[in-house]
Amino acid sequence: MVCCIGGAELAVAYWLDRPVFDKLTKPVIQKAEQLWQRGGEVIAAGRFWLTDKFAQPALMEQETVDPQKASEPMLSDGGEAITDPSVTELTIKDGQELLTGGSISVAYFAQSDSAWKDKSYGNDPIGSYGCGPTVMAMAVQSMTGTKTDPEKMAAWCAVHGYWAPQSGSYHSIVQGVADAFGLECDPAGTLSADELRLQLSGGRIAVALMKAGHFTSGGHFILLRGTTVEGKILVADPNSRARSLAAWDAQTIIDELSDSRSAGAPLWFLSKSVQD
């Protein structure tokens, strides 16, 4: 038998028979408490569902993307391992890995770090698809001093529409993060190996979107962080500490830049804001 009880009946029970009132309302109160506890999870899930279903298609209509997924490089040889710590080394300061040398010391993050590799970038794992936010976390912390990491940056980028489902990041992630965190961002356009060396030796760093070659078998964001005295390029590769401790021929970098020209791709120079 199903009983339907209205507000008037509950009011009478409340004043005349409190045990009956408590018995009638207890299931409702328990259900409400459960829903309240799950509210945070529902809101978070709903946010990413809305981003996936509505915000992302709007971006996709305007912007193509080179899919990025962590992979072994198509080519295995190319970089020259650096053994002289005066050129560059990976050290630790206050618990943070740092790549020395180059234009500036770079706070290094690996997307495969156990602290965040299984954390979400939208609905994808950072370890597989998070080279974009990992590179931008390196750039932001190194150039502005703002404390961040791949997990925090991935969450920010997903909320702001830069996560490309099962493809990594939309290329507009670079300009978007730079604008939000107070960095100057200049798409490079077409340039020569000599021009690349000149820009990097002048105190700037660059975000580079690479195609299949020595850094990936698909698409991959890396950071170009300076030059050696011989004119080789220093990088910070979020998918390889070894490649981050090698010197690279400038022409190799130029040749393996993505063919995409979407949202400033494939190369963006970053510098501190003039007002800084």
Query: Per residue in 16-45, pLDDT tens?
Result: 666 765 676 667 666 655 655 555 444 444
Architecture of domain 63-272: Alpha-Beta Complex (3.90)
* CATH 3.90.70.10 domain position(s) in the chain: 63-272
For residue 261, which amino acid is it?
Answer: R
Q: Map residue 81 onto helix, strand or coil.
A: strand
Give the model's pLDDT for residue 38. Answer: 57
For residues 227 and 197, the answer to whether their CB atoms sit within 8 Å is yes
The whole-number pLDDT of residue 251 equals 97
Q: What is each CA distance from 177 to 9, 18, 131, 138, 139, in whole angstroms?
A: 58, 58, 14, 12, 10
pLDDT at 55: 47
| SS percent in the chain: helix, strand, coil, step 5 | 40, 20, 40
CA 276 to chain centre: 24
Q: What's the rounded Cα separation, in Å, for the pair 215 and 76? A: 9
Cα gap 22→2, rounded to integer Å: 18
Average pLDDT score, the chain: 87
**pLDDT tens-digit profile of 151-186?**
999 999 999 999 999 999 999 999 999 999 999 999
% of the chain at pLDDT higher than 70:
77
Tokens of 146: 């703002």
pLDDT value of position 31: 64
Q: pLDDT tens digits for 213-243?
A: 999 999 999 999 999 999 999 999 999 999 9
Pick the range with the lowest mean pLDDT from 46-50, 116-120, 147-151, 192-196: 46-50
Q: What is the pLDDT of residue 3?
A: 53
Residue pair 189/248 in contact (Cβ under 8 Å)? The answer is no
First to last CA, the chain: 73
Which of 64, 49, 56 has its CA nearest to residue 163?
56
Burial 220-252 (b: 16+ CB within 10 A, else e): bbbbbbbbbeebbbbbbbbbbeebbbbbbbbeb
